[in-house]
Amino acid sequence: MGRWDSVARVLDPTNPLAAPSTLPHGLPPFDALRTEHFAPALREGMAQQRAEVEAVATCAEPPTFANTVGALEASGELLTRAANAFYNLVSSHSDDALRAVEAELAPELTAHGDAVRLDPRLFARLAAVREHTAGGAPDADGTELDDEQRAVLERWHRDLARAGAGLDEAAKARLRELNGELSRLTTQFGTELLAATNAAAVHVTEEAQLAGLSAGERSAAAQAAVARGLDGWVLPLSLPTDQPVLASLDHRGLRERVFRASTTRGLGGEHDTRPLLVRIAALRAERAGLLGAAHHAEHVLEDATAPSVEAVMDLLTSVVPAAVSNARGEALELAEELRAAGPGDDDAPAELRPWDWAWAAARVRARRFELDPAGLKPYFELDAVVTRGVFAAATALYGLTFTERPELPTYHPDVRTWEVFDEGGTSVGLFLGDFFARESKRGGAWMSNYVDQSALPGRRSSRPVVVNNLNVPRPPDGEPALLTPDEVETAFHEFGHALHGLLSDVRYPRLSGTTVPRDFVEFPSQVNEVWAWDPALLPAYARHVETGEPLPASTVQALLASRSYGEGFATTEIVAAMLLDQAWHQLAPGESVAPDDVEAFEAAALERHGTALELVPPRYRSTYFNHVFSGGYSAGYYSYLWSEVLDADTVEWFAENGGLRRENGAAFAREVLSRGGTVDLSAAYRAFRGRDPRVEPLLQRRGLAATGS
């Protein structure tokens, strides 16, 4: 293995990525990084890893864990460093130049990954180590493998097997072609969707149409117009179908404009995503067939906690009848609310339409629970939510404390950085908060790592550098950023992912933090949402931004009661999207859909499963379903509901054991958050909960108990 140290270093040493960052925990030197630094660093990183992997493949010594798995885990240090920085910036703060680099490098990076995963020599060595150590036997060099070493060995062997390392050369050649084209197309889908979303922002020239928006929301819309060089106001779009602004806008015609702008993204025009998505689905189906699966969904489920596609479909379809029934009942009430509000903008009788749903629901919720939505936002100021809410919960549960580090460089002026310490005062990592929306950021909310936690033998241990991205409208300078209750919950959700990264305690990068199956990764984040509404925590952060008065107790009770209102709509829209994902990814090899038939395919899929409700469209329609056509959730969007089974059962455990207590957090961190992919996740849950999860808490939470388990 000494050959690794002699790999030629051709990268310009002045490139900020050429050597590990000297900043705390390897934080990228954002003040020095430029777009032109990425392509050379990524290409040199690939070259270095190729040499390192070749040394493993040609090693003359008998295959052992150390000279095979351990060596593979240690390879690609430069590539990982450069890729983490690059892809995070592509998502968070991109421009045409950065996206051009992404388009150029994506096929090369895919080909590089294939070169590793499809190498029969590596696969043979992994198989030899696996066979030699089966049943707990010692390695060929006499070493006893521990549980984590066996886990990372199994992960590498499974990854290569699922990637096609066992195929013949002709099949591998076709697989490389498919992977390369898919890499290009999924990148292009994300680029086109971002452009389509920015282009679909709704321009308003008459202030009267903004009735219902708060002064702060109007100021943000005016600022968005200035940023685009327009007069008046601009309402930018978020990623899902249901736009938050629809709950506030009194002008029905403007609500319709916003809704139609949202639901027609990618549907024709300059940024038509239909040719891309149908090609992506067809290529994924073909690839699944090459790999021995009936379709892409089956291939994905081979590496998940859900046991089968049938189990996933059973869960999704089992909740449909009650969810749709509840949604229809809600629609009757909302129709009455709309009629009571008077005729539409054209003086015609108002009939409930999809763009009316959120507005009417907000009015019903406000009246039934005596809540004023506009009056709630001043109690949820962003900094207070983060520092006295999100961080305070992490302190109470896990003993973590947070010190802001404004002197550390960031990639955008809006980004804030905190150093995170354990209760003994040891630094455990960095947390970056990138909370505001901008045209250079993709829609949605997510967590990612700039640096993964690991403790590889023979290499300096690394602590995590994690980032949370939200898309809160940026207020005008000098004004506070105020959140809706949904945005508060999102902040807690994404920090649940951050905790999964920050509290990771493993040796091998391949098993670190959130590198777990998709249908488990949402579990810790969904659990963390519950603390947003914890009665012990709310008084600390939910205080009026001007007066400092806490949210009144009566309002707290009304808010908590109102959180369960509208579950028919919420469950139906998300399950409809999950079923769409499955429909596209259960296409058999050779099946295809023409671009002009995307809407018909979608409609048929929704009708087939009983979720074709005009008033409740899917949370994402196909043309802007970024999670599955550009993100990492293809055939895996079901994971939010699958994880919610674990989440609801765990929340019940916390409630039974006293809630926001350090002892409870210690148990959850020990058995779940710190373990990454080092253990069987079903076993990890049983170790934490003392039994397998029950589905009843989920059904009760979503008002679906009548469906049974």
| Domain boundaries, given as residue ranges, for the chain | 2-166, 200-263, 274-369+566-637, 381-546
Confidence band for 7, pLDDT divided at 50, 70 and 90: very low
Name the phi and psi angles at 164, rounded to 5.
110, 20
pLDDT at 592: 93
Whether residue 119 has pLDDT greater than 80? yes
Confidence band for 563, pLDDT divided at 50, 70 and 90: confident
Query: Which structure tokens are listed for 38?
Result: 């990425």
∠ CA 256-261-267, rounded to 5°: 130
pLDDT at 10: 77
3-state secondary structure of 466: strand
* DSSP state letters, 315-351: HHHHHHHHHHHHHHHHHHHHHHHHHHT---TTSSPP-
Tokens 């009144």, residue?
552
Q: What is the fold of 381-546? A: Neurolysin; domain 3 (1.10.1370)
> Residue 680 CB: number of other CB atoms within 10 A?
15
* DSSP state letters, 668-692: HIIIIITTTTSS-HHHHHHHHHSS-
Whether residue 109 has pLDDT greater than 90? yes
3-state secondary structure of 487: helix
Confidence band for 562, pLDDT divided at 50, 70 and 90: confident
**β-sheet with 416-421: strand ranges across:** 401-404, 416-421, 427-436, 465-472, 446-451
pLDDT at 561: 87
pLDDT at 279: 98
Average pLDDT over residues 308-322: 96
* CATH match for 274-369+566-637 among 3.40.50.720, 3.30.930.10, 1.10.1370.10, 3.40.50.2000: 1.10.1370.10
Whether residue 3 has pLDDT greater than 70? no
> Residue 327 CB: number of other CB atoms within 10 A?
22
Specify burial of residue 346 (Cβ count, 10 A radius: 0-12, 13-18, 19+).
exposed
Of the candidates 225, 205, 200, the one whose C-alpha atom is nearest the C-alpha of residue 476 is: 225
Average pLDDT, the chain: 94
Alpha-helical regions (H) of 164-199: 169-199
- For residue range 159-179, what is the model confidence (pLDDT) as tens digits? 999 999 999 999 999 999 999
Name the phi and psi angles at 19, rounded to 5.
-130, 160
Whether residue 348 has pLDDT greater than 80? no
Whether residue 274 has pLDDT greater than 50? yes
Please report the sign of the dihedral spanned by the C-alpha atoms of residue 657, residue 662, residue 663, residue 667.
positive
> Residue 558 CB: number of other CB atoms within 10 A?
18
Whether residue 611 has pLDDT greater than 80? yes
pLDDT at 323: 96
CA–CA separation, 417 vs 386, rounded Å?
12
Annotate 203-239 with three-state secondary structure: EECCHHHHCCCCHHHHHHHHHHHHHCCCCCEEECCCC
Confidence band for 342, pLDDT divided at 50, 70 and 90: confident
What totals of helices (H) and strands (E) does the chain contain, helices first?
A: 27, 7
Whether residue 347 has pLDDT greater than 60? no
Are residues 198 and 631 in contact, defined by beta-carbon separation less than 8 angstroms?
Answer: no
Within its chain, how far is the Cα of 544 from the centroid? 31
Q: 402 pairs with which residues across the strands? A: 420
Alpha-helical regions (H) of 295-449: 296-301, 309-340, 357-368, 373-376, 382-384, 391-398
> Residue 134 CB: number of other CB atoms within 10 A?
9
Specify burial of residue 563 (Cβ count, 10 A radius: 0-12, 13-18, 19+).
middle
Name the class of domain 2-166: mainly alpha
Question: Residues 6 or more apart from 434 whose CB is under 8 A from it?
Answer: 92, 412, 414, 415, 441, 467, 468, 469, 470
- For residue range 461-512, what is the model confidence (pLDDT) as tens digits? 899 999 999 999 999 889 999 999 999 999 999 999 999 999 999 999 999 9
CA–CA separation, 468 vs 465, rounded Å?
10
CA–CA separation, 27 vs 22, rounded Å?
8
* 107: amino acid identity, one letter: P
pLDDT at 29: 98
Q: Give the residue with greater pLDDT, 286 vs 557.
A: 286
Query: Which structure tokens are listed for 331?
Result: 């629609």
Of the candidates 350, 313, 315, the one whose C-alpha atom is nearest the C-alpha of residue 334 is: 350
3-state secondary structure of 495: helix
Lowest model confidence (mean pLDDT) among 1-10, 125-134, 306-315, 658-667:
1-10
Query: Which structure tokens are listed for 335?
Result: 């129709």
Confidence band for 344, pLDDT divided at 50, 70 and 90: low
Q: What is the DSSP letter of 268?
A: S
pLDDT at 460: 76
- For residue range 394-441, what is the model confidence (pLDDT) as tens digits? 999 999 999 999 999 999 999 999 999 999 999 999 999 999 999 999
Which run of H or of E encompasses 485? Answer: helix 485-502
* Number of residues that this document lists for the chain: 709
* Catalytically annotated residues: 494
3-state secondary structure of 479: coil
* 531: amino acid identity, one letter: W
pLDDT at 707: 40
pLDDT at 678: 95
pLDDT at 708: 37
Q: What is the DSSP letter of 307?
A: -
pLDDT at 2: 34
Distances (CA, A) of 522 to 81, 158, 200, 259, 681: 25, 22, 30, 28, 13
Confidence band for 158, pLDDT divided at 50, 70 and 90: very high
Confidence band for 82, pLDDT divided at 50, 70 and 90: very high
Count CA atoms within 13 Å of residue 197 on its CB side: 26
Rg (CA), the chain: 26
* 292: amino acid identity, one letter: G
pLDDT at 14: 96
Query: Which structure tokens are listed for 378?
Result: 């001043």
Annotate 587-617 with three-state secondary structure: CCCCCCCCHHHHHHHHHHHHHHCCCCCCCCC
Looking at the chain, the whole-number percentage of residues with pLDDT higher than 70 is 97
pLDDT at 457: 84
Name the phi and psi angles at 420, rounded to 5.
-110, 135
pLDDT at 709: 34
